[in-house]
A = this chain, B = another copy of it.
Amino acid sequence: MAYLIVTYDIGENRVNKVRKTLKKYFMWVQNSVFEGDITEGKLEKCKRELLKIIKEDADSIYFYSLENRLNYRKTVLGIEKELTGNIL
């Protein structure tokens, strides 16, 4: 189990599919950012699904894996999205 921050930069034609896939595994916290706890197995499943959607020479998804969510401190300027109740 690890806590992940996931950021992405995806071509317009594919971005909705990528969001829907990430939404199954993580919480949507900003336009291009998801967060959440995930097991190694589920993370591998998520990556396999994403690889079927993205163009690897044009798109980009970063997975920042922290051992747990206590390993970072988050501060916000401006509005902060709720960690629950995200509607896609």
Contact = CB atoms under 8 A, between A and B. Distances in A.
Interface in A3-30: 5, 7-9, 29-30
Contact of A60 (B7, B54, B61, B77): B77
A51 interface: yes
Interface string A68-88: 000111111111110000000
Contact of A31 (B32, B47, B63, B81): B32
A44 B29 CA distance: 23
B64 A5 contact: yes
Given A32-B9, A60-B30, A54 B78 contact: yes
6 contacts: A5-B64, A29-B62, A54-B77, A57-B78, A60-B80, A71-B72
Interface of A: 5, 7-9, 29-33, 47, 50-51, 54-67, 71-81
